Structure 1
Amino acid sequence: MRIRPATDADWPAILPFFTAIVEDGETYAYPSGLSSDEARALWMGQHRVVVAEDDGRVLGSATMGPNRPGRGAHVGTASFMVDGAARGRGVGRALGEHVLAWSKEAGFRAVQFNAVVETNTAAVALWRSLGFRIIGTVPEAFDSRRHGLVGLHVMHRAL
């Protein structure tokens, strides 16, 4: 598996799993029914976007950059999406490790995830295994399609 910067040519491969994940209603607070252009602006318009690929097939993507502008720009953040067909192959872990290495190299002092859905137990376990800790949970901040109102964890890892 190789992780590389995303290009505009990658968007047609990202869009199907982006749409499936958003429409599933379990992990992202993006609105349903986004057009390709609206989805592209949300995902590809971030500070840095990468894809994980294997044999030329895009398996997942991550965005990364400063969590806040100005006086908060020393803390990074990131978002991750993995194609459902590639789950269980270590794509999320490889993307997470890439984000941590890139963030440290870019001079960030920490990485903070602002909204990890508490019922997304696979993601919570992955981030914990990479050294993140839950520093707080906003109660009932996410409207899960399957579970109703659930909390959003704020997760943090010092670099």
Structure 2
Amino acid sequence: MTSPYLIRLCTEADWPEVWTLLHATFQGGDTYAFAPESTEAEIRAAWLDAPRATYVLREGDAGQGRLLGTYVLKPNQPGLGSHVCNCGYVVAPEAQGQGLASAMCEHSQREARAMGFLAMQFNLVVSTNERAVRLWRRLGFDIVATLPQAFRHQRLGLVDAFVMFKTLVDKDTLDP
């Protein structure tokens, strides 16, 4: 029996498909702060070059099938804030509603713990992205701040955004 998908590190060979997915997503202007007209070089720098790790979710147990999603894992801040990570996830439109965002988020939490991160923070969850807000809450993230009119939605104008946070380790093990 084969697995329906595999999450693995992104390779150079994955980039053309990842770029196509990201470009289409960011052009929508409704979930990510990247400008719809962002260039491939700008997105590559942010999605592939800067993060600690970039992953792809591909169909099939060998991870070579159709690209279904991607995510990045990086420190949320440098230096004294580097124990908190940040992630961003994108699922291909035709694969949405199949639990893949949930699978990538759960995978990212395991990876983050293995890398030594103590918590995960999402800095700009668009309030109108109700599916994502519901999912992150179900996976244990709390809304710790509301940023009034912090996102310029391409169809709705200025809308609120949330900062969402989850501790990844037992709170008793955190340094005082």
- Superposition TM-score, scaled by structure 1 size: 0.96
Q: Is 1:6 the equivalent of 2:25?
A: no
Q: Is 1:47 the equivalent of 2:56?
A: no
- C-alpha root-mean-square deviation of aligned residues, in Å? 1.0
Structure 2: any 5+ residue segments left out of the alignment? 169-176
Structure 1: any 5+ residue segments left out of the alignment? none
The residue number in structure 2 matching 1:141 is 150
The structural deviation recorded for 1:36 is: 2.2
The structural deviation recorded for 1:33 is: 2.0
Q: Which has the larger radius of gyration?
A: 2
Give deviations 1:105-132, integer Å, cap 9, x for gaps.
Answer: 2221110111100000011011011100
List 4+ stretches of structure 1 deviating above 3 A: none
The structural deviation recorded for 1:84 is: 0.7
Give the Cα–Cα distance (whole angstroms) in 2 for the partners of residues 73 and 67 of structure 1.
Answer: 6
Q: Which letter maps to 2:74?
A: G
Give deviations 1:70-113, integer Å, cap 9, x for gaps.
Answer: 10011111011111111111111111001111111222111011
Q: Is 1:98 the equivalent of 2:107?
A: yes
Give the Cα–Cα distance (whole angstroms) in 2 for the partners of residues 3 and 105 of structure 1.
Answer: 16
Give the Cα–Cα distance (whole angstroms) in 2 for the partners of residues 77 and 38 of structure 1.
Answer: 18
How many positions carry a matched residue from both structures?
Answer: 159
Give deviations 1:22-58, integer Å, cap 9, x for gaps.
Answer: 1101011111222322221221112110000113111
- Superposition TM-score, scaled by structure 2 size: 0.87
Q: Is 1:33 the equivalent of 2:42?
A: no
